[in-house]
Structure 1
């Protein structure tokens, strides 16, 4: 099993959180009452997974974990080293 840790920075999470807040506010939600950071982290983790899968690479596992600084870490696991190397380039 080959493993790749992809870290998504706090600044990327903040931008996604602001985008989600704008969309929800325009739909009439009180965004001040919502916790959007975990949702933003999940959206970005799913986007990273979609990037890898668009290359025809199927990770065997891709859990994501919040980081203490507000960012998120996605831990991809691949059955082949070649898939890991291609994913690393795509996510750079």
Structure 2
């Protein structure tokens, strides 16, 4: 089975656009937070054209990282995502 990444999807999403179930590759992950109750994983994602290192995995999916099901170079389909606005030096940025 051949999978192709959704090239340009990250740029579209970060600009506020919609991409239906994009396919991306996990290039790395880092555990964030201290104790097990606040543990989160930050992902480095690629859509084949762009990278994003600000993707946070939903805590309900932590076990997939711990078990190795989601590991470096895994290709995934994103079924649901939320883009949050952050305030950096008075500017609204994504």
Q: What is the TM-score when the length of structure 1 is the normalising length?
A: 0.23
Higher helix share: 1
Instruction: Write 1 or 2 for the structure with the bigger share of strand.
Output: 2
Q: What TM-score do the two structures reach when normalised by structure 2?
A: 0.23
Q: Which has the higher contact order (CA 8 A, sep 6+)?
A: 1
